Amino acid sequence: MSHHIDLYDTTLRDGTQSEDISFTTDDKVKIAHQLDDLGVHFIEGGWPGSNPKDADFFEKAKTETFTISRVTAFGSTCRADIPPERDTNIQSLLRAETPVITIFGKSWDIHPSHALNITLEQNLEIIYASLCYLKPRVDTLIYDAEHFFDGYKNNREYAMKTLRAAAAGKPDCLVLCDTNGGCLPNEIERIVKTVAKEVDIPLGIHCHNDSEVAVANTLAAVRAGVVHVQGTINGFGERCGNANLCSIIPNLVLKMKIPCLTDAQLKQLMRVSRYVNELANIAHNKHQPYVGVSAFAHKGGVHVSAIRKDPATYEHIPPEKVGNRQRVLVSDLSGASNILYKAKEFGIDLDSDDPAVRKIVAELKDLENSGYQFEGAEASFELLMQKALNKRPDYFELMGYRVIDERKSSKNPPFSEATIMIRVKDCVEHTAAIGNGPVNALDNAIRKALERFYPALKELRLIDYKVRVLSGADGTAATTRVLIESGDNTSRWGTVGVSENIVQASWEALVDSIEFKLQKEAGSVKTGKR
């Protein structure tokens, strides 16, 4: 299969209908440029007749330059009692001055009578009139047949009448929509093949994910002959989301051998996926196929042993093709292969016969049995390996710390004070700091004590702090695990601490973070992610 497929992104319109998603106009312009860099053919920017933000986007888009993508305005057919030349929605589409316009119309016979309060014949008339009016006024015209598959299954004859009415208006593409997301791949493929025999206009597909098969439905439609595919980055969309272009695109290019993007463009996929999540202020889904950080992560010792010999044993594609990378995790499931892989990654010289390997594996399993977790704390694991090899530097020695929580009255908020004494070589530093909680106060105190000796710590910042109670059976005396993500101007890293005392667990993670930063400045560690 090698026919051309047009990629149509509707993240900026359909994607923003997700209850967790909201983009500013500037966000939408930035995302549009990312999609252009990726090589998407159409960018649906919004519905200019529905809200001021979308109208503002189209005004800004007029002054932007896109290399590949064509910006698209979206709207509905005209109303039954108003001709297109006087319909405000149709006119707002033209004022957007985009090279492409997409309008949708009703295909399911229950919608004209139940939602629009018009006759079935009037629905056919407004579809035809809208397309006929827009066709000579825009470069490319696309028609979305909303609820087409449900309409086809409920009343095949009428659903096909709506398509023929649209086809008579000569749009450049007829897009069949599974708007409720209730169809299965075999239904999609069968219906698309039937429609393709009866309509002589290129077909497209638009699927929602309410049955968890939007990507599969889209690929089934491609097998049946559609040449235009709609979806959103990361599957954003109303209810359960839209078809996920971050899965559709690599499946088309790498599995179905349809070159809708170049190899260089495909390598941008993970970066664009993460960029859109960042602007949406949503944590990146680590388990997302192709572009999740866990998509090519290996934990079991048997798996790691195999991928060290041949990555294809447990990886369905080379991760670099989509801008991802192979990762090996360390946990109580790890064997010597995991340790050797990580040692190589960290630039530590180990071989399989080195007794240190068995020592590290044994210590790792004991620590994880006690509650430690190194999957999100690779910096702590690298320091653990150095300690086992007697290569971990001593930057300072703790002589003691004390943390006090105090609240002077019910009208005043509580505050914390931490006092700390450390030794750096022959110097003893004794200092105190306050914070909005015991961990914050301790963090401030240790930095204050060390920055005189290590000025680079001024760059260190705490990015994320997570606490997990490992066993609720002991109540407030339960063991807790603290995971800290830290960073500086160039990278991020994770550290871990475990104790029945949350301050002590936090202290362990803070110390690892500080020591990792100091080793990073000395050039002796390699962990850290951009």
Chain segment 260-286, per-residue pLDDT in tens? 999 999 999 999 998 898 788 787 898
Q: What pLDDT does residue 530 have?
A: 36
User: Do 380 and 400 sit in the same domain of this protein?
Assistant: no
Q: What is the CATH number of the domain that holds 463?
A: 3.30.160.340
Is residue 376 very low, low, confident or very high in pLDDT (cuts 50, 70, 90)?
Answer: low
Q: Last residue of a domain, which of 453, 476, 500?
A: 453
Q: Taking the C-alpha atoms of 68, 69, 70 and 73 in order, what is their torsion angle to the nearest 10 degrees?
A: -170
Q: Per residue in 47-94, pLDDT tens?
A: 997 788 899 999 999 999 999 999 999 999 999 989 999 999 999 999
Q: What is the mean pLDDT of the chain?
A: 89
Q: What is residue 529's predicted lDDT score, i.e. its pLDDT?
A: 46
Backbone angles phi, psi at 57, to 5 degrees: -60, -45
User: How far is the C-alpha of 295 from the C-alpha of 286, rounded, in Å?
Assistant: 7
The span from the CA of 382 to the CA of 526, in Å, is 9
pLDDT in tens, 339-364: 666 566 555 566 656 676 667 767 76
Instruction: Tell me the Ramachandran region of residue 523: left when phi exceeds 0, alpha when psi lies from -120 to 50, beta otherwise.
Output: left
Looking at the structure, tell me whether residues 131 and 103 fall in a common domain. yes
The Cα–Cα gap between 226 and 179 comes to: 17
> Domain range for residue 383?
365-393+458-530
Same domain (yes/no): 493, 504 = yes
Question: Which of 453, 478, 493 finishes a domain?
Answer: 453
61 lies in the same domain as 202: yes
Tell me: pLDDT of 333 over 50: no
Judged against a pLDDT cut of 90, whether residue 432 lies above it is answered with: yes
| pLDDT tier for residue 17 given thresholds of 50, 70 and 90 | very high
337 pLDDT above the threshold of 70:
no
Average pLDDT over residues 394-412: 88
- pLDDT at 389 > cutoff 90: no
Of 241, 261, 281, the residue at which a domain comes to its end is: 261
Q: What is the mean pLDDT of residues 125-148?
A: 98
- Check whether residue 58 and residue 144 sit in a common domain: yes
